[in-house]
Structure 1
Amino acid sequence: MKSRLLIAAATTALMAIPSLATAHDESGWYLRGNAGYGVHTDIELSGGLDTTAGDASGLNSKGDVAISLGLGYNLGNSWRLELDGSLLNTDLGSISGVQDTTSGFRSKSMMINAIHNFDTNSRFEPYLGAGIGLVQANAKFTANDYGNAASPTVNAVCDGSRSTIAGGQSCSLDATDTAFGYQLLAGLGYEITENIKWDTQYRYLDSHGMDFNGVRVANTNNTITSLAVEASNVGAHSVMTGFRYLFGHKHEPEAPPPPPAPVPDYQCWDGSMTFNAGECPAKPIPKQTCWDGSIIPETSTCPVRPTYTCWDDSVVYDEANCPAQVFSEAKNNMSELCSINSHQEVIYYDFDEHESQDTVNAITKIADIGQYCNIGKVSVVGHTDTSGPTAYNLKLSKHRASNTKAELISRGISEDSITSDGRGETELAVETANGVKEKMNRRTEVLVSLSALGVNN
Structure 2
Amino acid sequence: MPAPARAADLGASGLGAADDLLAKAPTVEDSSGWYLRGDVGYVFNETPDWSALNFNSTDPALGDAWLLGVGAGFRVTDWLRVDATADYRTEADYTTAGLSADYSVATFMANAYIDLGTWNGFTPYVGAGIGAGFASFDDIDFGGSRLGSTDGWGLAWGLMAGVAVSLGPNWMLDVGYRYLALDGVDLGGAMPDFDQSAHEIRIGARYLID
Q: TM-score range by the shorter chain?
A: 0.7 to 0.9
Q: Indicate if the aligned counterparts of 1:39 and 1:90 stay in contact, CA closer than 8 A.
A: no
Larger CA Rg, structure 1 vs 2: 1
Q: Hey, what does 1:38 align to over in structure 2?
A: 43
- Give the TM-score normalised by the residue count of structure 1: 0.37
Q: State the distance in 2 between where 1:46 and 1:78 align.
A: 40
Distance 2:137 2:183 in 1: 15
Would the aligned equivalents of 2:113 and 2:127 in 1 still touch at CA under 8 Å?
A: yes
1:127 aligns with 2:125: yes
1:178 equivalent in structure 2: 153
SS class of match (1:119): coil
Quickly say closer, same or farther: Cα 1:46–1:133, change in 2 above 3 A. Answer: closer
Q: Distance in 1 between matches of 2:50 and 2:178?
A: 24
Structure 2 counterpart of 1:180, which letter? L
Tell me which residue corresponds to 2:65.
64
Matches within 5 A, 1:44-83: 44-45=49-50, 50-52=54-56, 56-58=58-60, 60-83=61-84
* RMSD of aligned alpha carbons: 2.2
CA contact (8 A) 1:208 1:232 kept: yes
Which residue does the alignment assign to 1:190? 165
SS in 1 for 2:63: coil
Q: Equivalents in 1 of 2:51, 2:95: separation in Å?
A: 15
Residue number in structure 1 paired with 2:108:
110
2:106 and 2:43 mapped to 1: Cα distance? 12
Deviation of residue 82 (structure 1)?
0.2
Paired with 2:142 and 2:132, the residues of 1 have a C-alpha distance of: 29
SS in 2 for 1:51: helix
Change (3 A) 1:120 1:176: same
Which runs of structure 2 are paired with 1:313-324 in the superposition (5 Å)?
none
Give a deviation string over 1:360-418, Cα, whole Å, max 9, x none: xxxxxxxxxxxxxxxxxxxxxxxxxxxxxxxxxxxxxxxxxxxxxxxxxxxxxxxxxxx
- Equivalent residues in 2 for 1:286-435 (5 A)? none
Secondary structure in 2 matching 1:69? strand
Q: CA deviation at 1:50?
A: 4.1
Distance 1:143 1:92 in 2: 14
What code does the residue aligned with 1:107 have? V
Which amino acid is the alignment partner of residue 59 of structure 2? Answer: S
2:33 is aligned with 1:28: yes
CA distance in 1, matches of 2:163, 2:184: 31
Tell me, which stretches of 5 or more residues in structure 1 are unaligned? 1-24, 146-169, 214-226, 249-457
User: 1:43-80 CA distances to partner (integer Å, 9 max, x unpaired)?
Assistant: 03465x64146xx102x222221111110011133111
Conservation of the 8 A alpha-carbon contact between 2:159 and 2:178: yes
Instruction: Give the equivalent residue in structure 2 for 1:228.
Output: 190
8 Å CA contact retained: 1:118, 1:126: yes
CA contact (8 A) 2:62 2:95 kept: no
Residue 247 of structure 1 pairs with residue 172 of structure 2: no
Any gaps of 5 or more consecutive residues in structure 2? 1-29
Structure 2 vs 1, CA of residues 26 and 75 (structure 1 numbering), >3 Å: closer, same or farther? farther
* Aligned equivalent of 1:212: 187
- The letter for the 1-side match of 2:143 is N
The corresponding residue for 2:26 is: none
- Asked whether the equivalents of residues 31 and 208 of structure 2 are also in contact (C-alpha less than 8 Å), the reply is no
- Which whole-Å CA distance do the structure 1 matches of 2:56 and 2:160 have between them? 32
Q: Distance in 1 between matches of 2:162 and 2:137?
A: 30
Distance 1:71 1:245 in 2: 9
Query: 2:155, 2:184 within 8 Å by CA — same for their partners in 1?
Result: no
User: What secondary structure does 1:121 align onto?
Assistant: coil
Q: How many Å apart are 1:172 and its aligned residue? A: 2.2
1:139/1:175 contact within 8 Å kept: yes
- Cα distance in 2 for partners of 1:182, 1:111 equals 8
Q: What's 1:203 paired with?
A: 178
Q: Which is strand-richer, 1 or 2?
A: 2
TM-score (norm 2): 0.77
Q: Which runs of 4+ in 1 moved over 6 A?
A: none
Q: What secondary structure sits across from 2:161 in the alignment?
A: strand
For the 8 Å contact 1:43–1:231, the answer to whether it is kept is no
3-state SS of 1:230 partner? coil
Equivalent pairs counted in the alignment come to 180
Tell me the SS of whatever aligns to 2:187: strand
CA 1:242 to 1:30, structure 2 compared with 1: closer, same or farther past 3 Å?
A: same
